[in-house]
Amino acid sequence: MEIRKGNNSEGSILTPIDQYVIDKVREIRKSKKITQEQIADFLKVSEGYIGQIESTKFIAKYNLEALNQLAKLLECSPKDFLPENPL
């Protein structure tokens, strides 16, 4: 599975929807007492990369395939990561 990465040198920025999704995944992850390490193992990426996604200092985000897989791990729907109304 590939998780799309961006960085400041590419001029990439996180959009409000990107940040919302990242925050929602973190919220659900913590409520279910799932660690970044467990997420990383499940997605077959490094724990450091999950930390970068959850940090505001890096431009890294989940792609749709990763969100679909996370929904399986967190026992929710992928739509649970999205806002009810457009941002």
The pTM of the full predicted model, rounded to 2 decimals, is 0.84
Contacts of 31 (CB under 8 A, 6+ apart): none
Q: What is the pLDDT of residues 16-52, one digit of tens each?
A: 999 999 999 999 999 999 999 999 999 999 999 999 9
Residue 69 lies in a domain: yes
pLDDT confidence of residue 13: 83
Residue 33 lies in a domain: yes
Q: What single letter denotes the amino acid at residue 13? A: I
The whole-angstrom distance between residue 2's C-alpha and the CA centroid of its chain comes to: 13
Q: How far apart are CA 50 and CA 34, in angstroms?
A: 12
CB atoms near residue 28 (< 10 Å): 18
Q: What domain count does the chain have?
A: 1
Q: The domain that contains 51 carries what CATH number?
A: 1.10.260.40
For residue 33, the enclosing domain spans 18-76
- Angle, alpha carbons 48-49-52 (nearest 5°): 90
